[in-house]
Amino acid sequence: NAGVTQTPKFRILKIGQSMTLQCTQDMNHNYMYWYRQDPGMGLKLIYYSVGAGITDKGEVPNGYNVSRSTTEDFPLRLELAAPSQTSVYFCASSGLGAGGTYEQYFGPGTRLTVT
């Protein structure tokens, strides 16, 4: 299994541009998450999904949109990029594991700079 994959790895955007961060998992997990991490800080939840067709806001959803049309994919959309969205973005997924637990598996991250 590849686990959780994210593309692109790096991106530089100009203010006002739009882009979609891709996230795919091959573990058949129902639950998927998007976090952002600013330098020297912990991760903050942007959006999450409990299954295909269902999404909900996390702690810092403003400026972002998500969709979940399949179990595998959970793209994050930035419509009008702002310098405050410069961050590292992590996608994660979780599902019922062999031990009956729900630990989250994280992707490698997308490093986004908005200038």
Partner 1 sequence: DAKTTQPPSMDCAEGRAANLPCNHSTISGNEYVYWYRQIHSQGPQYIIHGLKNNETNEMASLIITEDRKSSTLILPHATLRDTAVYYCIVIIETSGSRLTFGEGTQLTVNP
Binding site for partner 1 (CB under 8 A): 4, 30-31, 33, 35, 41-45, 48, 50, 58-59, 88, 90, 92, 94-96, 101-109
Phi/psi at 61 (5° precision): -85, -15
Burial class (CB in 10 A: 0-12, 13-18, 19+), 70: exposed
Minimum CB separation of residue 64 from partner 1 in Å reads: 16
Contact 68, 74 (CB under 8 A): yes
Pick 19 or 88: Cβ nearer partner 1: 88
Pick 16 or 97: Cβ nearer partner 1: 97
Strands in 19-25's sheet, in edge-to-edge order, are 4-7, 19-25, 76-78, 64-66
Pick 15 or 59: Cβ nearer partner 1: 59
Pick 16 or 102: Cβ nearer partner 1: 102
